[in-house]
Amino acid sequence: MKFLDWIKDFFTGDKSTVYLNEKAVEAQEIQLAIEAFAILSAINFIASAVSKCEFKTYINNKEVKGDEYYLWNIEPNKNQNSSQFIQEFISKLLYDNECLVIEINGQLIVADSFYQNEYATLENFFTNVTKGTMNFNRSFKMSEVMYFKLENEDSRALLSNLLKGYNNLLNMPIDKYKRSGGRKGILDIEATASGNPKFQERFDDLMNNRFKKYFEAENAVLPLHRGF
């Protein structure tokens, strides 16, 4: 059972009591941790690739290398080089689905948090803009900043679904290998044996316990009752 399915069943299911052992919880925690790690790894890979690109600037359709070029390709601010800045910018955009870049005293800074005030006919503006422990204590108009937003509502969900697809592809050959390498057999049961009052009890013990130990052991002998 998937973790989200378990949560759904817990709150909407018909069962009055739900039992979940520690192993089940641990398995779900591991699965979520792996999924989070894979998503962050994918985001970091994309951000690293973009950070290696050169950002070209143009004026009147002519390529120029002025202040704007310097900010995006060499040193956007006093605390980051261009590679660090671009990685932070792309990572935040992919993880949060939006990113705000502000210019303060000629430096480009990726905001950690912000609130956007949206209007239908007026220019939007941003408040509560922070970076680290600093709150800028002012509002920024949309025309004063660079605001990026992905068209897709949740890029993390897309990466998560992609991960599940690869996981299913990997599990297919694993399951096939297990089936091809598994031990199989045919059990011959006499008709008279099924009439024995203890038949069902012996049959269940044979199938669920004794055969299991027999197949798992390196060397084993399995005695069978008359009729089997």
Nearest to 95, CA basis, from 53, 142, 36, 183? 36
Say if residue 171's pLDDT is above 80: no
Q: Please, are residues 99 and 155 in contact by the beta-carbon 8 Å criterion? A: no
Q: Please write the tens of the pLDDT for every residue from 41-52.
A: 878 888 999 999
Six token digits for residue 160: 């998560």
Read off the pLDDT of residues 178-194 as tens digits, 9 standing for 90 and up.
656 556 666 666 665 55
* Least confident stretch, 33-47, 122-136, 204-218: 204-218
Nearest to 25 by CA among 40, 41, 10: 10
Q: What is the mean pLDDT of residues 201-222?
A: 68
CA angle in degrees (0–180, nearest 5) for 113-50-102? 30
Q: What is the pLDDT of residue 186?
A: 62
More confident residue, 67 or 8: 67
What percent of the chain shows pLDDT beyond 70? 57
SS3 57: strand
* Rounded Cα distance, 91 and 98, in Å: 10
Q: Provide the pairing of β-strand 62-64 with 57-59.
A: antiparallel
Q: Residue ranges of the domains in the chain?
A: 53-150, 184-228
Check residues 198 and 192 and name the one with the higher pLDDT.
198
Per-residue pLDDT, 178: 61
pLDDT at 104: 94
At residue 226's C-alpha, the angle toward residues 223 and 228, to 5°, is 75
Asked whether 58 and 33 are in contact (CB, 8 A), the reply is: no
Does an H or E element contain 103, and which?
A: strand 98-104
Task: Quote the tokens at residue 126.
Answer: 């941003």
Q: Give 228's pLDDT tier (boundaries 50, 70, 90).
A: low
Q: How many helices (H) and strands (E) does the chain have?
A: 7, 9
pTM given for the model: 0.59
What pLDDT shows up at residue 11?
Answer: 47
In this structure, of 67-76, 85-94, 214-223, the range with the lowest mean pLDDT score is 214-223
Residue 102 and residue 140 in contact, taking contact as beta carbons nearer than 8 Å:
yes
Average pLDDT over residues 4-12: 50
What number is the average pLDDT over the span 17-41?
Answer: 66
